[in-house]
């Protein structure tokens, strides 16, 4: 009875290992949909805890490589500490959460990762510093950067980059939508120039001025009762108000773009040390 | 003693499992294929290829997977699959068969240039196995789709000679569709509002274009006469100018559409005729 039991356990383990190898084989052949189907068909009830960890890691890593970050985070977080790839899974899971702007979840996730040596601790600090920069929490950032060693090749360049972003973010003056609106009310299109969109400013200036000139001509020639005055006047008013509204939006968009460009740079720099460290 | 017995059991069960796996997967694949579960069957054939136990199984698995992909109309993926796996096959004659399938899949996935290149490769790599007439047939079809009718005609004459058919049959290429010139349409629309649309065979669009541009001019003149100079230039001129330039572009687009339709219709006739001839000689 016992030998048969052992045989069956071994056979199951053997099959599972082969199944995972088969998934990797499909991935190498770029048959991603088939690989996903095979992974999803593995029956977790029959697996032992170590195999379950393996399966979660594979599913998470597969989703991560397919840029399905939500699924990736969900599975990578399930990998238990007993698995040899636990640290990798934990860091990447929290990176996926960070990328999806789940900052609170990522912060507590990163904080809970148990580290055993100074490099791992520095990597953890680095990730938390990046997270603080993304949240524009400069006080927290200053706290975490104390853990930067500026000596490990894994994150040396990125630590310097974070310092640079930190300085730049402090120096940035966010432009005011109200100022843009007022400027555009005085000179059509000027608010867009203020928002850093010179061509759009010119593009807004000409239609408003043209409609204004047509209205003025209609008023001059036919007076207030002239139908043309009302038609062109309506057109002018629409363009004029639209131009003010557009300038207010342009400043908000410009601020968002600037923030997004820094967010992308920070996320990129958070990712490189993870790849360096775990590959 | 017990440990030794266990180890023997494990060893034997492992051997039993690995030996039989390829065969098991093949059986599973054929059952799934018979049920029309092409996707599942494809994965089972992949498992056989992953095991790679013997050449016979590999051949069956490659052709099975290919069949499944074709059934799912995934011709581009099928081409990619052949590219990845044809080197697993040792036999040159079977490799050539795979090349034929590769050409067919490239043609069906609108990769005519790829299909032509593959046909040339097949001719060069497997001269002893290749079916020249079949390769020529596909080259002609591809060249037609690319509107390279002169080259297609040369190949067609060669193909006819291969079946000892009179080359006078190639007369079908003498009546090439008369395609219209995009530049001419643009030029016509520039000189005469609506002229390009008329040339492209769209008289209704031509009339609309004339009407709108005429209205712009009319409004400009009337405003000018009543001393609304700004209105005349900015509104009348603006409406006329924007519709005029738009109309030039539209005329070019219409001619492009016309040419595409004409070429497609001509190619369809050619395809039918050549395929009928091919079927007669198969």
Query: What are the extents of the domains in chain B?
Result: 182-272
Q: Which residue among B43, B80, B228 places its CB closest to the CB of A38?
A: B43
The answer to whether B39 contacts A210, with C-beta atoms less than 8 Å apart, is no
Q: How confident is the model at residue B236 (pLDDT cuts 50, 70, 90)?
A: very high
- pLDDT of A279: 80
The answer to whether B13 contacts A11, with C-beta atoms less than 8 Å apart, is yes
Regarding whether A104 and A158 lie in a shared domain, the answer is no
Regarding whether A192 and A162 lie in a shared domain, the answer is no
CATH of the domain at A62: 1.25.40
Regarding whether A207 and A223 lie in a shared domain, the answer is yes
Average pLDDT rounded to a whole number, residues A140-147: 94
Domain endpoint, select from A131, A146, A172:
A172
Q: Which long-range contacts (CB under 8 A, 24 or more apart) does A232-241 make?
A: A232/B231, A235/A211, A236/A208, A236/A211, A236/A212, A239/A188, A239/A207, A239/A208, A239/A211, A240/A188, A240/A208, A240/A211, A240/A212
Regarding whether A155 and A141 lie in a shared domain, the answer is yes
Mutate: best of A22, A213, A234, partner B, most B CBs <10 A: A22
- pLDDT of A10: 44
Domain endpoint, select from A112, A137, A160:
A112
A32, part of any domain: yes
Mutate: best of B12, B19, B43, B44, partner A, most A CBs <10 A: B43
Regarding whether A119 and A107 lie in a shared domain, the answer is no
Interatomic CA distance for residues B103 and B139, integer angstroms: 9
ipTM of the complex, rounded to two decimals = 0.73
Interatomic CA distance for residues A61 and A36, integer angstroms: 11
Task: Count the Cβ atoms, other than its own, within 10 Å of residue B232.
Answer: 19
Interatomic CA distance for residues B134 and B281, integer angstroms: 11
User: Closest by alpha carbon to B41, among B69, B80, B73, B3?
Assistant: B69
Residues of B in contact with A30 (CB under 8 A): 80
Average pLDDT rounded to a whole number, residues A256-268: 95
Q: Note whether B252 and B199 are within 8 A (CB).
A: no
- Interface check A137 vs B, CB under 8 A: no
Q: Note whether B199 and B184 are within 8 A (CB).
A: yes
Cut 0.90: pTM above it = no
Q: How confident is the model at residue B20 (pLDDT cuts 50, 70, 90)?
A: low
Interatomic CA distance for residues B105 and A165, integer angstroms: 51
- pLDDT of B233: 93
A2, part of any domain: no
Q: Note whether A136 and A169 are within 8 A (CB).
A: yes
A138 lies in which domain range? 115-172
% of chain B with per-residue pLDDT over 90: 78
Regarding whether A102 and A30 lie in a shared domain, the answer is yes
Residues of A in contact with B230 (CB under 8 A): 213-214, 217
- pLDDT of B281: 74
Task: Decide if pLDDT at A8 tops 90.
Answer: no
Task: Decide if pLDDT at B120 tops 80.
Answer: yes
- pLDDT of B1: 56
Average pLDDT rounded to a whole number, residues A179-190: 95
Average pLDDT rounded to a whole number, residues B184-209: 95
A with B: how many residue pairs have Cβ under 8 Å apart? 59
Q: Note whether A268 and A146 are within 8 A (CB).
A: no
Q: Note whether B181 and B252 are within 8 A (CB).
A: no
A225, part of any domain: yes
Average pLDDT rounded to a whole number, residues B12-37: 78
Regarding whether A76 and A64 lie in a shared domain, the answer is yes
Domain endpoint, select from A112, A143, A163:
A112
Average pLDDT rounded to a whole number, residues A63-75: 95
Regarding whether A168 and A251 lie in a shared domain, the answer is no
- Interface check A21 vs B, CB under 8 A: yes
Mean pLDDT across chain A: 91
User: Closest by alpha carbon to B254, among B206, B192, B193?
Assistant: B206
Specify the number of domains making up chain A: 3
């Amino acid at each position: 009875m016992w030998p048969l039991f052992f045989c069956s356990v071994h056979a199951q383990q053997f099959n599972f290992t082969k199944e995972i190898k088969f998934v990797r084989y499909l991935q190498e052949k770029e048959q991603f949909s088939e690989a996903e189907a095979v992974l999803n068909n593995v029956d977790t009830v029959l697996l032992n805890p170590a195999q379950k960890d393996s399966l979660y890691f594979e599913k998470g890593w597969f989703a991560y490589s397919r840029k399905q970050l939500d699924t990736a985070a969900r599975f990578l977080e399930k990998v238990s500490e007993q698995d040899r790839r636990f640290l990798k899974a934990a860091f990447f899971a929290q990176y996926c959460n960070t990328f999806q702007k789940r900052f609170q979840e990522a912060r507590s996730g990163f904080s809970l990762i148990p580290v055993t040596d100074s490099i791992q601790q520095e990597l953890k600090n680095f990730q938390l510093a990046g997270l603080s920069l993304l949240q524009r929490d400069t006080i927290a950032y200053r706290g975490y950067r104390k853990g930067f060693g500026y000596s490990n090749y894994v994150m040396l360049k990125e630590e310097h980059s974070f310092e640079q972003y930190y300085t730049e973010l402090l120096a940035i003056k966010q432009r005011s939508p109200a100022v843009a609106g007022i400027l555009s009310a005085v000179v059509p299109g000027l608010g867009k120039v203020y928002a850093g969109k010179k061509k759009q400013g010119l593009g807004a200036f000409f239609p408003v001025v043209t409609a204004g000139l047509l209205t003025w001509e209609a008023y001059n020639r036919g007076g207030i009762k002239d139908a043309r005055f009302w038609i062109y006047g309506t057109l002018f008013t629409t363009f004029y108000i639209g131009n003010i509204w557009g300038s207010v939006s342009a400043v908000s968009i410009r601020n968002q773009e600037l923030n997004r460009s820094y967010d992308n740079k920070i996320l990129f720099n958070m990712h490189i040390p993870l790849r360096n460290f775990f590959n | 003693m017990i440990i030794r017995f266990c180890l023997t059991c494990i060893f034997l069960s492992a051997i039993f499992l690995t030996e039989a796996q390829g065969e098991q997967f093949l059986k599973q694949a054929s059952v799934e294929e018979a049920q029309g579960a092409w996707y599942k069957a494809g994965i089972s054939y992949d498992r056989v290829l992953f095991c790679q136990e013997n050449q016979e199984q590999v051949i069956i698995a490659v052709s099975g997977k290919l069949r499944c992909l074709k059934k799912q109309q995934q011709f581009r993926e099928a081409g990619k699959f052949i590219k990845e796996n044809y080197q697993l096959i040792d036999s040159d004659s079977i490799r050539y068969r795979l090349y034929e399938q590769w050409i067919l899949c490239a043609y069906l996935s609108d990769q005519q240039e790829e299909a032509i290149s593959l046909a040339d490769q097949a001719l060069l790599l497997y001269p002893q196995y290749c079916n020249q007439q079949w390769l020529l047939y596909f080259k002609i079809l591809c060249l037609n789709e690319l509107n390279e009718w002169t080259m297609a005609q040369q190949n067609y004459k060669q193909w006819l000679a291969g079946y000892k058919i009179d080359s006078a049959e190639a007369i079908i290429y003498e009546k090439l569709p008369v395609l219209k010139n995009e530049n001419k349409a643009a030029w016509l629309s520039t000189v005469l509002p609506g002229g390009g649309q008329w040339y492209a065979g769209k008289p209704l669009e031509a009339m609309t274009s004339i009407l709108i541009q005429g209205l712009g001019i009319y409004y400009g003149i009337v405003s000018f006469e009543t001393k609304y100079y700004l209105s005349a230039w900015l509104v009348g001129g603006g409406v006329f100018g924007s519709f005029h330039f738009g109309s030039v572009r539209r005329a070019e687009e219409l001619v492009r559409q016309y040419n595409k339709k004409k070429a497609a219709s001509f190619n369809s006739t050619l395809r039918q005729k050549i395929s009928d001839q091919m079927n007669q000689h198969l």
